[in-house]
Amino acid sequence: MSPQIRRDPNGPAPATREDAGERVTRGDMLERIRADIGHLSKAFGRIGSYLVADPDSFMHAPLRTIAAGAGVSEPSIVRYCKHYGCKGVPEFRIELAKALARELPDFRLNLIAPSVSDREQVNVNKKRSIARYAAGLIERERSIIIDSGSTLRMFATQLGETRGLSILTADLEVVNLLRHYKQHEVIVPAGTVRYDTMAVGGRFLERFLTELHFDTFFLGADAIDLRLGLSTFNEEEAQKNAAMIRASDRVVVLADSSKFGTPSLHRICDIRKVHMIVTDTDADPAAVEQIEELGVAVHCVDPRTATRATGRRKARR
């Protein structure tokens, strides 16, 4: 950790990176946070020290709890997050989780997984357009599985005009959303309820799935990597997703462009197990092209129109 710089409490504060308005790239977020302690304003220094000392609390505690623990105001925390290139606290915590994932052992990844509420506030327009487009992909299916997560919950809200389907989901919020569409038969698997995500999981669910067969699985993922495949923060979630893949003829991944190039977490499957990825137009064209070369269809959706973008942009250098 960088040494702390002692200051005269009555003297003027030195010029800071915060004052200079410097923007920080996200790839080295955790490293920069540590290095910045002692070089930013007193309030930002306190926030940084609190974060480094207790990242789990910063990831999941209410803003008022973090503010009290760091001895700063809530607006100071919002400004701190924006200093590191994020629009607000939810986006900052998601980027922080990715940075922590590069350093923590696998068994701790569950502890730093972003909360559902944070995920639901980030990339909303992109997720909504992906969900609308994906609903239009349902043609001959008679039975589908809907995964857990913010994008899949939006997907569930788009099924009002879809003809009747047998739908299995372990996400209890998806179950709640589907209650408005009486044409669908909704199946909730046996298992253990996780109240932090409002989803069902566990070995009972995996055994339950061995007796069933579905046409298409609409899957979410926290990370998509060409070499390492699909992965997620939660190990139990990864095992559940793998079981759902085995129970399905086709796998369609719904994931916004921020999921590409993130660190590998608990592995769900090889990318060749996927038939299609629906993402947005900010996805790296080079990554899209490489995935398509493996035989996986990638549909990039324009967030403004919820339609598939035409043409191919040049790969980034």
Residue with tokens 């209410």: 62
Which positions ≥6 away from 15 have C-beta within 8 Å? Answer: none
Structure tokens at 171: 């996400």
Structure tokens at 308: 């598939």
Residue that wins the pLDDT comparison between 50 and 314: 50
pTM, rounded to two decimals = 0.79
Q: How confident is the model at residue 98 (pLDDT cuts 50, 70, 90)?
A: confident
List phi, psi (to 5°) of 81. Answer: -65, -40
The predicted model gives 95-113 an average pLDDT of 70
- How distant is the alpha carbon of residue 52 from its chain centre? 22
User: pLDDT tens digits, residue range 153-211?
Assistant: 999 999 999 999 999 999 999 999 999 999 999 999 988 888 878 888 888 888 889 88
In contact, 193 and 174? CB cutoff 8 Å = no
Which CATH class, in words, describes the domain spanning 124-308?
alpha beta
Question: Which CATH architecture best describes the domain 17-120?
Answer: Orthogonal Bundle (1.10)
The span from the CA of 82 to the CA of 71, in Å, is: 19
The span from the CA of 186 to the CA of 205, in Å, is: 15
The span from the CA of 215 to the CA of 251, in Å, is: 9
Q: How confident is the model at residue 23 (pLDDT cuts 50, 70, 90)?
A: very low
How crowded is the C-beta side of 304, counted as CA atoms within 13 Å? 3
- Please give the share of the chain, as a percent, with pLDDT higher than 90: 62
How crowded is the C-beta side of 99, counted as CA atoms within 13 Å? 22
The predicted model gives 259-282 an average pLDDT of 90
Q: How confident is the model at residue 6 (pLDDT cuts 50, 70, 90)?
A: very low
Same fold, 17-120 and 124-308: no
**What pLDDT shows up at residue 25?**
46
CA dihedral of residues 274, 121, 126, 291 (deg, nearest 10): -30
Q: How confident is the model at residue 12 (pLDDT cuts 50, 70, 90)?
A: very low
Please name every residue paired with 254 in a beta bridge, in sequence order, or none if there are none: 278
Segments making up each domain of the chain, as ranges: 17-120, 124-308
Closest CA to 169 of 132, 141, 208, 135: 208
